[in-house]
Structure 1
Amino acid sequence: MIAPETVVALACVTAFVAAGIQRITGLGFVLVLIGPIVLLYGPVEGVTIGVLLALVASLTAVPLVWRRVQWRRAWWLIWPGLLAAPFGALLVRVLPEPALLLLIAAMAYFALIAGWIPALSAALTGRSGAIVAGASAGFMHVASGLSGPPLAAYAVGSKWDQTRFAASVQVIFATFSVMSVALRGLPVSPASDIWLLIAATAGGIIVGTLLTRFVPPRVARLAMLAIAWAGATVVLIRGVLALFF
């Protein structure tokens, strides 16, 4: 049994690193965070904390990229996601813990391999592609916090400029996170722990901003992938074990 202080310390380190990576690469906060946070707090509380911290990360980043946000394109991804979000919340309420662990692991793996599926990006183009991508992202965000893959696939398929997409997606993440917090509620962990995690997330964004001049995005991306693969695998193993023990 891990001491509560150790749990908070590990979670703060993870949130700090995840926020720094997101600031450098534009994506990856929840992908890095979700494995460790679910292992530390469980599938329900872990994702609830994750979406709250995702909101903090996005709100901290938005002022830094405000001028590059493309609001019209972002809106066509946001409104379908808001309509689909309640179904993600319903799924979380009806699934038992082992199934939730397996669902989170599956979504994490999908997030990691989605970029290697050309047909996915090819299918997500135009207004219809935006609706499908936005709805999928909204559903996934509430269920697991992992809404990046369909949005990234749409960006590739529609040839969205990477800089403007990375800016616009912060607004999308922030909106989906607000909806997720509204549907899932606030974490039940002690308020002092949550404030420490919020501070670690904001600190990671600030440090990541300073490091953008020195750390190549490729290096940050490799770190993101290594942590995410490890986290998804451990969550998968825990879910499988939970089915039998």
Structure 2
Amino acid sequence: MDLLSFVVALAAVLIGAVGQRMIGMGWGLVVTPAVALVAGPLAAVLVVNLYGAIACLIILPRVWRDIDWRRLLWIAIPALAVMVPGMLLAKGLDTDLLRVAVGAIAVLGVLVAVAFTSATRTHDGPALRVASGTAIGLLNASVGMGAPAVGAYSLLSGWQDRTFVATMQPFWVLISGAVVAVRPLVAPEGSPEWPLWAWFALALPVVAGVLLGDRLAHLVNPTVVRWTIIALSVLGGGALIVTGTLGLLG
């Protein structure tokens, strides 16, 4: 294990946990590329989902009363339903080519969402929720980054208040927990062979990030949330394109 890369991963986990607590997303975008440096792209999916579920479990009691349970079910059920197909897709296709394609679609989707919505004009309903949940589940299971699809749905539906932040915590517990539970059976290869101390060390910035995010959460307002979601979603798609392209060239 390269020590410098591991330190970078620790910092990324801290930042990702802060973002997850404050705006309900950003974990996968920040953490996936950093962990991929240490463990490789396949192992990063498992590691990111494992520690992401832990982060959201820690956050969950703090936001429980604001969770929108009805909307959670609309997006979580289709996301869980495509978990295994998403893993099989990643296993059967060239992972780097899949990243480039998914990243391009994600960026386009966010830009379209921004173009067709505003703070006062939104679109939401069962069809959009099911489609969004499906896209999130496929992205998360195949390339470990469902944030662009989450961002697109948030922008289209206008769902950017405190209930969004709250509902994303049990959502990611379910989705990430399912990946951790099912992946060893569907795609057992790719688990990082880390020493025990590394697994415990990576948990420390998760807890620290959640606690720091708690202290900073009051600084968030709807305008900041909207533009942060746009930026993170576009950057998430861009990160997939860059990492996929580098993999193809290498």
Which amino acid in structure 1 is aligned with residue 64 of structure 2?
W
Q: Which residue of 1 aligns with 2:139?
A: 140
Give the corresponding residue for 1:208: 213
* Deviation (angstroms), 1:161: 6.0
Q: For the residues of structure 1 that align with 2:72 and 2:207, how far apart are their CA atoms?
A: 23
- In structure 1, the partner of 2:162 is 163
Matched, 1:243 2:242: no
* Pairing 1:26–2:24 present: yes
Q: Which residue of 1 aligns with 2:178?
A: 179
C-alpha distance in 1 between matches for 2:71 and 2:232: 31
Change (3 A) 1:139 1:22: same
Paired AA for residue 24 in structure 2: G
1:125 partner SS: coil
**Identity within the alignment, %:** 25
Q: Is there any run of 5+ residues in structure 1 with no aligned partner, and where? A: none
2:200 is aligned, of 195, 198, 204, to: 195
Superposed counterparts of 1:23-62, under 5 Å:
23-62=21-60
Q: For 1:222 and 1:69, how far apart are their aligned partners in 2? A: 21
Instruction: Give the match's secondary structure for 1:240.
Output: helix
Q: CA deviation at 1:199?
A: 1.9
Change beyond 3 A, Cα 1:22–1:49: same
Pairing of 1:80-119 with structure 2 (within 5 A): 80-102=78-100, 105-106=103-104, 109=107, 113=111, 115-118=113-116
Q: Distance in 1 between matches of 2:3 and 2:14?
A: 16
Structure 1 distance, partners of 2:18, 2:59, is 11
Deviation at 1:5, TM superposition (A): 2.1
When residues 58 and 114 of structure 1 are mapped into structure 2, their CA distance, relative to the original with a 3 A threshold, is farther
TM superposition score normalised by structure 1: 0.80
Where 2:82 maps in the other structure, the secondary structure is helix
Letter in 2 for 1:7: S
Q: Which amino acid aligns with 1:208?
A: G
The offset of 1:226, in angstroms, is 7.7
Q: Answer yes or no: is the 8 Å Cα contact 1:32–1:228 preserved in 2.
A: no
Give the C-alpha shift of residue 77 in structure 1.
1.1
Distance in 2 of aligned mates of 1:70 and 1:189:
38
**Secondary structure of 2:206 counterpart:** helix
Deviation, 1:165, is: 1.8
Aligned pairs for 1:72-87 within 5 A? 72-87=70-85
Give RMSD over aligned pairs.
3.5
Question: Which one-letter code corresponds to 1:173 in the other structure?
Answer: W
C-alpha contact 2:52 2:176 (8 A) present in aligned 1:
yes
Superposition deviation, residue 22 in structure 1? 2.0
SS of 1:146's equivalent? Answer: coil
CA displacement, residues 129-160 of structure 1 (integer Å, 9 cap, x when unaligned): 22111111111111123223434443444444
Contact 1:80 1:135 in 2 (8 A): yes
Give the whole-Å Cα distance in 1 for the aligned partners of 2:147 and 2:123: 14
* Pairs aligned (count): 241
Structure 1 position 12, deviation (Å): 0.6
Query: Match of 1:212, SS?
Result: helix
Normalising by the residue count of structure 2, what TM-score does the alignment of the two structures yield?
A: 0.79
Note the C-alpha offset of 1:78: 1.1
Q: Residue 167 and residue 182 in structure 1: after superposition, are their counterparts in 2 closer, same or farther (change >3 A)? A: same
